[in-house]
Amino acid sequence: MENYKILSKIKDYKDLQRLSQEELTTLTSEIRDYIIETTSKTGGHIGPSLGVVELTVALLRVFDPEIDRIVWDIGHQAYSWKILTGRKEQFKTLRQYKGISGFLKRSESPYDHFGAGHSSTSISAALGMRKGKDLLKKEGWTVAVIGDGAMTAGQAFEGLNHAGWLDPDKFIVILNDNQMSISPNVGALYTYFNRIITNEVFQKSRQKLKDIIKKLFGEPGAKMARKMEEYVKGLFAPGIIFEELGFTYVGTIDGHNLSELEKTLQNVKKMRGPIIVHVLTQKGKGYQPAEENPTPFHGISPFDKITGRPIKKVGSAPSWSKVFGDALVELAEKDDKIVAITPAMKEGSGLTKFAEKFPERFFDVGIAEQHAATFGAGLSTEGIKPVLSYYSTFLQRGYDQVIHDIALQELPVVIAIDRAGLVGEDGATHHGVYDIAFLRAIPNIVISAPKDRQELRNLLYTALKSGKVFAIRYPRGEAFGEREEGFEEIPIGSWEILEEGKDILILAVGKYVPRGLEVRKRLKKSGFNPTVVNARFIKPMDTELLEKLLATHRYVITMEDGALNGGFGSAVAEFILDKGFTNRLLRFGIPDRFVHHGKISQLEEELGLTVDQITEKIKRFVEEPTFKAVG
């Protein structure tokens, strides 16, 4: 901290009040440097946080978070908020095991008023806080800070609609407009913000008027006209929709002009009713690599802070996302009915190549997971083969649509579930551990998980040929396996025996298949000889094979990277009970609690899921009759 002249003297936000404008300017620069220095080592959401440093300082100088409520949408833009609310020293532990979270978290600080890792919840939450304060006659303002990308989601407008109806005082929504969510924004609402400015009729009239003014009044008149134009654009272009919803619109404001931000917020506090403040910011502000290439800097792994290049292992295998994306392109080259749909996750889901090669068959619907599912269902009714690509954690938001709009109507839609299982440093809001459990309850659905690269390709090929609702889940990180060519259809519901043994049966799912084989090697050194099965279909299971194996193996071990409650192990337990078998069952997976952030290897060790831990537990399970078989 000795390198930071002003930041080193700041304990928390209360110290901001005594700083001069010059010191505040230095402080904002130092906060950016500190964020860059820390995230270059830890990784994180650097772009969004660099864009709102001045906005954060202004909020903390105008409002008091001990009384007022500031709700940051998602929270990955709130690094400077953490630094200025008593976590300056802790910030070095960002996203590290047992360190502070990369998102806002109510249990971490009393100043984190609402936690969220999924977008577009801030307006609803802040409105709830507002009405809670009103009912209890508590003092204070409530402020929601939401990005223009998050404003594409339906819940944001549900919150705006309700707020306009309730007409609350002391309620502010700050629209942080950086023209990006993760990927560049899409959609009619985003386009609306710029429609008047770019309209051809507007542009022609604008140019004619400029020419007339310049002839009549010369260059000074032209400059005055430009000033008036900026005023009119800010007043009428994006503001009408919010005014119609019952808000008073204020904007647009330069989000990097701290003095202007403060004055605006102070003035807004004198107004009544719900208010929208439209702030323009630059994602990655103050760090050239992030300014020039904002998409990868939305969320990035550790990087070289001089060049901005991610620090990657030499010769690393392709990611599961890339294997999926490449396979989908190959299949789409042969079948023009295949389309890809994603809710604002083109890059993360490995669909960049598909979007470039088949732009007319690629649909980024914005942060609209529910719409993505129903849109895919509609395409399916016309004979199109939609592939929905979600992160597991975001698929949760489209659950009703998967049930009601896809599965109930038996519409053939492929659901590619990326980031299944533990995801690491993003923590509890992003772990994809619930999809097996919540999908398994749905009729008319196939749920699968590949053991390696080639099997992912084969399952995608099978899914597209199946005519069924077909989910394929795969983890974050490097994909297993070496061969990656061609496609082969896999009989739906079939498992494969990888190693035959006796007495102990290991049924492994997805990324746990290689781990099951490694556990077998360890157990063989202790005199055991397990059978290992690749249970690539979670639903339907290979019940014919399972019955045969249960008849010849006393001990059954299940391994999965999902929640134990309602997961694959539960399905096996139900089968054993329903069929009257008496096999002993030991399940490995995610226990009934929220798992926090850290490297995946650290989290797995904490949960008892390393090869050594699984091996030792199986040995005790077999050797000690009284050992409790609780996963």
Q: Which pLDDT belongs to residue 224? A: 62
Query: Which DSSP letter does residue 16 get?
Result: G
Please give the average per-residue pLDDT across 590-617, as a whole number: 96
Q: How much is the pLDDT for 154? A: 87
Q: List the single range of 78-87, 311-320, 323-332, 511-520 with lowest mean pLDDT.
A: 311-320
Would you state the structure tokens that stand for residue 335, as one six-digit string? 């079948």
Q: How much is the pLDDT for 201? A: 45
- Lowest-confidence pick of 352-361, 455-464, 620-629: 620-629
Residue 272: how many other CB atoms lie within 10 Å: 11
Whole-number Å distance between alpha carbons of 43 and 94? 8
- CATH of region 320-473: 3.40.50.970
pLDDT at 83 exceeding the cut of 90: yes
Q: Give 395-413 as a DSSP string.
A: HGGGHHHIIIIIITTT---
34-38: long-range contacts, CB 8 A cutoff, minimum separation 24: 34/4, 34/7, 34/83, 34/91, 35/79, 35/80, 35/83, 36/287, 36/305, 37/305, 38/91, 38/92, 38/94
Residue 483: predicted pLDDT: 75
User: What are the residue ranges spanned by the domains of the chain?
Assistant: 7-182+226-292, 320-473, 496-623
Q: For the chain, give percent helix, strand, coil, nearest 5.
A: 45, 15, 40
Strand partners of residue 142: 69, 171
DSSP 317: P
Does residue 434 surpass a pLDDT of 70? yes
Please provide the DSSP assignment of 445-488 as one string.
Answer: EEEE--SSHHHHHHHHHHHHHHTSEEEEE--SSBPP-S---S--
Residue type present at position 525: K
For residue 63, the tally of other CB atoms under 10 A from its CB is 20
Q: What is the pLDDT of residue 141?
A: 97
Query: Which token pair is 360?
Result: 């007319």
Say if 320-473 and 496-623 have the same CATH topology: yes
Q: Average pLDDT over the chain, rounded to whole?
A: 89
pLDDT per residue over 258-276, tens digit each?
A: 999 999 999 999 999 999 9
**Which residues are catalytic, by number?**
283, 369, 397
For the stretch 506-545, pLDDT in tens is 999 999 999 999 999 999 999 999 999 999 999 999 999 9
The CATH H-level superfamily of 7-182+226-292 is Thiamin diphosphate (ThDP)-binding fold, Pyr/PP domains (3.40.50.970)
Lowest model confidence (mean pLDDT) among 313-322, 374-383, 584-593, 611-620: 313-322
Q: What is the CA radius of gyration of the chain?
A: 27
Q: What per-residue confidence (pLDDT) applies to 12? A: 92
Confidence at residue 191, expressed as pLDDT on a 0 to 100 scale: 41
The class (CATH top level) of 496-623 is: alpha beta
Q: What is the C-alpha separation between 382 and 525, in angstroms, rounded?
A: 57
- What pLDDT does residue 200 have? 42
Across 583-601, average pLDDT:
96
pLDDT band of residue 288 (cuts 50, 70, 90) is: confident
Model confidence at 624: pLDDT above 80:
yes
Which residues share a beta bridge with 590?
563
Query: What's the pLDDT at 74?
Result: 84
The residue type at 558: T
For residue range 207-258, list pLDDT tens digits in order. Answer: 565 566 667 667 666 666 655 554 554 444 557 788 888 898 887 889 999 9
Phi, psi of 472 (to 5 degrees): -125, 120
How far is residue 545's CA from residue 533's CA, in Å, rounded to a whole number?
10
pLDDT, position 322:
95
